[in-house]
Amino acid sequence: METTKPKSEPTIIKLKPIEATPESFKEFGQVIEASPDGEKFGPNDAQLDLSKGIPRFYIMNLQNRPLKFSTFTHHASVTQCLGSIGGNVWYLGVAKPSLVDSEEVKKNKGKTAVQSRFGHFYVPPAIDDVHVFRISGPKFIKLNIGTWHAGPLFKADTMDFYNLELSDTNVVDHTTHSFKENGVIFSFDD
């Protein structure tokens, strides 16, 4: 990480994109790639949890998503799948899930857990735990429950993505953390 800070401006933390592979992304979720038709369900398939609502699979059109971010989101009740239509290159900022069991919060009074407006507890992601991944080709990303994420981000003016989550994820399970409170913006080039 390289840090630059012009006077009275936020600190810009430069990240180096990591190519998303099943191995490099495993702490955050899965990278799902093509498999032969008829292959039986196995560990290389998306291990989904859509049990807390009605699944929603849709195409979202995103515009003007430059290669920088200062806000993270997580979903505490659902896995999420994202992929670009056409296999175009895109990027995703991530940090490991930091959900905390409410019983643990009661036991450890000194913990820095925060209660979300949806009722669950989490520890805000640390600046040093933020990574950015490059996703290219015909694959998609499955985010584990609670994985912090920013994006999709991309160089083009507009891109279409397929998205699998619950029908009400963005209404009842959309916790946000702003690094602007720490005076930080993450940026990267590729």
Residues above pLDDT 90, as percent of the chain: 83
| Number of Cβ within a 10 Å radius of residue 175 | 20
The per-residue pLDDT for 54 is: 96
Q: Is the pLDDT of residue 190 over 90?
A: no
Compute the average pLDDT of residues 122-146: 96
Q: Is the pLDDT of residue 97 over 70?
A: yes
Confidence of residue 182 (pLDDT cuts 50, 70, 90): confident
Six token digits for residue 23? 């191995």
Structure pTM? 0.91
Q: Is the pLDDT of residue 106 over 70?
A: no
Residues above pLDDT 70, as percent of the chain: 92
Q: Is the pLDDT of residue 3 over 90?
A: no
Let me know the angle formed at the C-alpha of 98 by 189 and 93, rounded to the nearest 5 degrees. 15
